[in-house]
Amino acid sequence: MSRKSLTSLFAILVVACSSAPEDVGQSNAPVDYICSEAPTVTLDGIPAYAFCGNTYVWSNNGVDTKSASGGSGWVRTEGGYGYQCVEYAIRYTHFKFGTSVGWGINYADQMCATHPASMSKTTTPVHGDLMIFGAGSCGASAQAGHVAVVDVVSATTVGVVQENPAAKHTYNRSCASCFLHDAKNVGDPCTAAPKDGLYCGQSPRLGPGGTKDTLYDCVAGATKTKTACASGCTVEAPGTDDTCTAPDAGSDASSPGDAAPTSDAAIIEDASPPPAPPPPPQDDAGTGGVGTDGGCSMASTHTNANGFVAVLFGAILLAYRRRRDRR
């Protein structure tokens, strides 16, 4: 092998192990620039992504994500461990309420004691609050605990959206070490509903916090179910239930009656989270601030591409020297 051939081969190795530049920018649909995956579940327009490897997570709108800063407006919601429970909690609250991303924690179960000034503990959780699990509580990590974002609340259970694993789930309220509420969180829009019924998120008869083109089933001042209306939501006259807008003729969109409600009532289990889908989640050391690496589990499985290239190059160089010595 000549020196010229060796140099060319090394150049190919370097190029092959280098990452292509990531696209940057805001999109109309959720764009995961890190793993190119579709959202597993979405709450208030902010998607939860499935774990796909250890990486930094940055976002400029709560929807698009990237493994490095895209410039002005991009904030870091994870410090090297990918889509984890803390990452989603920090990304959701920051882009929904403006909560600081600097939590100064090492684990999720520390969030009850250490949190931004706009957050406070509450015993009456509402939509958008955080549910914190102590270490080992209801299936949470025995070392780091867990955190999820509250969606629907009943007298005894809480429906949440979470990462690691990315899913909707329902837990018993007793699983929580605490609930955290941001001062800017106005809570469940159904609290202002004049009577039980169906209301569009943009209806003036609902309280603030409703999601546009989402149909809320309000019962006793609380959201029972929510249905995303694919073709929009029609606000009807007072006294008449609002409806999901019928799709245009010839459209492939499902009829409003085909839309599945997003209630978690049908999946209540024994207060234990669902088993993580294969492969099992890796590290959950999400970070919302410099110097913190809090999360849900800490079993490290990091890889080092640069080290692999170095070892491979060394092997090629050794083979070249041996061939040269034989001549």
Top-ranked range on mean pLDDT: pick from 6-10, 169-173, 212-216, 258-262: 169-173
Mean pLDDT of 34-48: 91
> Which has more confidence, 114 or 250?
114
Show me where the domains of the chain are located.
3-326
- pLDDT band at 318, cuts 50/70/90? low
pLDDT at 323: 64
Q: How many residues does the chain have?
A: 327
Integer Cα distance of 312 and 12 in angstroms: 12
Mean pLDDT of 1-10: 48
Lowest mean pLDDT among 273-277, 307-311, 320-324: 273-277
Residues with Cβ within 8 Å of residue 297, at least 6 apart in sequence: 141, 143, 144, 164, 281, 282, 283, 284
Tell me: pLDDT of 165 over 90.
yes
Tell me: pLDDT of 302 over 60.
no
Which of 218, 249, 252, 253 has the alpha carbon at shortest distance from 232? 253
Lowest mean pLDDT among 69-83, 85-99, 233-247, 293-307: 293-307
Tell me: pLDDT of 77 over 50.
yes
- pLDDT band at 29, cuts 50/70/90? low
pLDDT at 170: 96
Token pair for residue 287? 């970070």
pLDDT at 281: 35
> Which has more confidence, 83 or 288?
83
Which of 298, 273, 290, 286 has the alpha carbon at shortest distance from 111? 286
pLDDT at 2: 54
Q: Using only C-alpha atoms, what is the Rg of the chain?
A: 24
Tell me: pLDDT of 87 over 60.
yes
Lowest mean pLDDT among 92-106, 161-175, 243-257: 243-257
Mean pLDDT of 256-283: 36
pLDDT at 67: 95
Which phi and psi (to 5°) does residue 223 adopt?
Answer: -75, 120
% the chain with pLDDT above 70: 67
Question: Torsion angle, CA of 242/220/156/268, rounded to 10 degrees?
Answer: -30
pLDDT tens digits for range 206-265 = 877 788 899 999 988 888 888 989 999 999 999 999 999 998 865 544 444 444 344 333
pLDDT at 292: 35
- H/E/C letters for each residue in 282-303? CCCCCCCCCCCCCCCCCCCCCC
